[in-house]
Structure 1
């Protein structure tokens, strides 16, 4: 589902116009981004929890050449899916 399809379906389900649905999606995106920048966990009801995980620096290998490559440490965003959603998909 694309962003435009998501906004259209959200507008239809909520009974609001497309501009209002677009504003809601953009506001939610901004809220999640700001919270994640602060290092906070974000709970999206019915979807799951977003949290930050630290991947430490490690050594890897270039699959083409087999040469050792240093992989730097970085933060990644993880999603723990809500149980109801996981059950619905399974």
Structure 2
């Protein structure tokens, strides 16, 4: 499912226009992104939670040449599925 299909499904389920569904989805995504940028954790009970962790700099290997390269440190977003979501796909 892509973003357009999700917007269509949200509009149909909620009985709202596609424009309203798009605005709601963009608001949700913007608020999640904003919270993660501040270092906060976003948790939806039963669905899952997003958090940001720091990945330290490390040495890697170029698979084409075999040479050792430096991989810079960076922040990464992690998602952990909630119990209800995990159970629904199994």
Two-structure CA RMSD over aligned residues (Å): 1.0
Q: Which residue of 1 aligns with 2:64?
A: 64
**C-alpha displacement at 1:87, in angstroms?**
1.0
Q: Which residue of 1 aligns with 2:50?
A: 50
**C-alpha displacement at 1:45, in angstroms?**
4.1
For structure 1, which runs of at least 5 residues remain unmatched after alignment?
Answer: none
Q: Which residue of 2 aligns with 1:88?
A: 88
**C-alpha displacement at 1:47, in angstroms?**
2.2
Q: Post-superposition, which runs of at least 4 consecutive aligned residues in structure 1 deviate over 4 A? A: none
TM-score by structure 2 length? 0.94
For structure 2, which runs of at least 5 residues remain unmatched after alignment?
Answer: none
Q: In the TM superposition, what are the counterparts of 1:1-90 in structure 2 within 5 Å?
A: 1-90=1-90
